[in-house]
Amino acid sequence: MSFNAILTHDGSTALITLEGELDALTAETFRREVERAAEAAAELLVLEMSQLSYMSSAGLRGLVFARQKLADDVRIVLVGANDAIEQTIRLVGFHHSVDFSDAIPE
């Protein structure tokens, strides 16, 4: 299954749009985009997930990786996560690292 992670910037906001299936084989691509966002000193990281169908354990770890790569005061907002992904994030406690939102913050 294909996977895409595309990083764009809007002022101090970094937006990574995720598509497809995020698993052990594709997690590295995601991590690279997170590192690029961190290098750009983003003040807000938005992960657009409405086209993300699946996130495995390794994919979810990417969220914790992002939290650790970014400064403490940088918010990470997940937009459009499907129910299964959001539920899993909460069950394993990764929701402490991120916020959920229905829309890309202004």
Partner 1 sequence: MSVEAQGVPGRIDSFPTAELAGFGVRAGHPMPFGATLVPGGVNFSVYSSGASAVSLVLFRHGEREPFAELPFPGEYRIGGVWAMTVFGLDHEGVEYGYRVTGPDTPSPGDRFDPARILADPYARTMSGRDVWGAEVDWDDPYPYRSVLASDDFDWEDDRPLRVAPEDLVVYELHVRGFTADPSSGVSAPGTYAGLIEKIPYLKALGVNCVELMPVFEFDEFDMSRVNPVTGERLYNYWGYSTLGFFAPKAGFAATGRYGMQADEFKNLVKELHRAGIAVVLDVVFNHTAEGNENGPTIHFRGLDNGTYYMLTPEGYYYNFSGTGNTFNCNHPVVRDYVLDCLRYWAGEYHIDGFRFDLAAILDRGQDGAPLADPPLIETLAHDPLLRDCLLIAEAWDAGGLYQVGSFPGYQRWSEWNGRYRDALRRFLKADPGSAGELATRLVGSPDLYASRGTLASVNFVTCHDGFTLADLFAYDGKHNEANGEDNRDGNDDNLSWNCGAEGPTRDPEVLALRGRQAKNAMLLLLLSQGIPMILAGDEVGRTQHGNNNAYCHDGPLSWFDWGLAERNGELLRFVRECVAFRAAHPMVRDRRHPCGDEGAGGLPQVSWHGERAGEPDWSEGSALVAMLRSGTAAGGGGEHLYLAANAHWEARELELPALPDGAVWHLFADTGAAAPEDVHTPGQEPPLADQRRIVVGPRAAVALVGRAHH
Q: Under the rule (CB under 8 A), what is the footprint of partner 1?
A: 23-25, 28, 56-58, 60-61, 64, 67-68, 87-88, 90-94, 97
Least separation in angstroms between residue 7's CB and partner 1 is: 18
Of residues 11 and 93, the one with the C-beta less far from partner 1: 93
Q: Which amino acid is at 83?
A: D
Q: Which amino acid is at 55?
A: M
Of residues 15 and 70, the one with the C-beta less far from partner 1: 70
Max CA-CA distance within the chain? 35
Q: Dihedral of CA 80/83/88/89: which sign?
A: positive
Of residues 5 and 15, the one with the C-beta less far from partner 1: 5
Q: Backbone phi, then psi, for 7, in 5-degree steps?
A: -100, 130
Least separation in angstroms between residue 97's CB and partner 1 is: 7
